[in-house]
Amino acid sequence: MRAMTTYVRLVDALNRRVGRFVMYLLFVMMAILLWSSISKTFFLPSLWTLEMAQFTLVAYYILGGPYSIQLGSNVRMDLFYSGRSVKTKAWIDAFTIFFLIFYLGVLLHGGISSTTYSLEYGERSPTAWRPVMWPIKILMCVGIVLMLLQAVAELIKDIQRIRTPDTAIEIEGPR
């Protein structure tokens, strides 16, 4: 039990730090889009702005996902979920987390395959800017791994809530 508690705390701390850092990527994306608007209005349009904004949004989304799950701000069917007890919610979450873990495993398999291809053949985007694709693909794989780690941590928290709902707060730590 001690090893699981340590795992949960380490993964939560890692994803909290990554998530708090990644929140600022939204401002980076806004600055890129602002520059895009300014350059199109007053100068020659920049080729890189739209695609760089898309890459920034991908990083924001994929690296912020584990933090979102940790905070419990992911989408749920509250119509069926909100009126349940802590133990029943934990059972539902523990059951559904297996689907998430399976999905993330398949996604990671495809992501690693795609990243390997990108690195091996020097894949580039088919746009006019033609950036290499491997950095964003590596970032996506890292985000998927962080999501997998957080999903396992949430499963451990759910098992703890099922076993002893009163002591489940202890494993979560500060928010």
- State residue 133's pLDDT score: 95
What percent of the chain lies above the pLDDT cut of 70?
A: 91
Reported residue count of the chain is 175
Q: What is the pLDDT of residues 59-102, one digit of tens each?
A: 999 999 999 999 887 776 667 777 788 888 889 888 989 999 99
Average pLDDT over residues 156-165: 86
How far is Cα 163 from Cα 139, in angstroms, rounded to an integer? 36
Chain mean pLDDT for the chain: 89
pLDDT score, position 47 = 86
Residue 88: per-residue pLDDT: 84
66 contact partners, CB below 8 Å, separation of at least 6: 15, 18, 19, 143, 146, 147, 149, 150
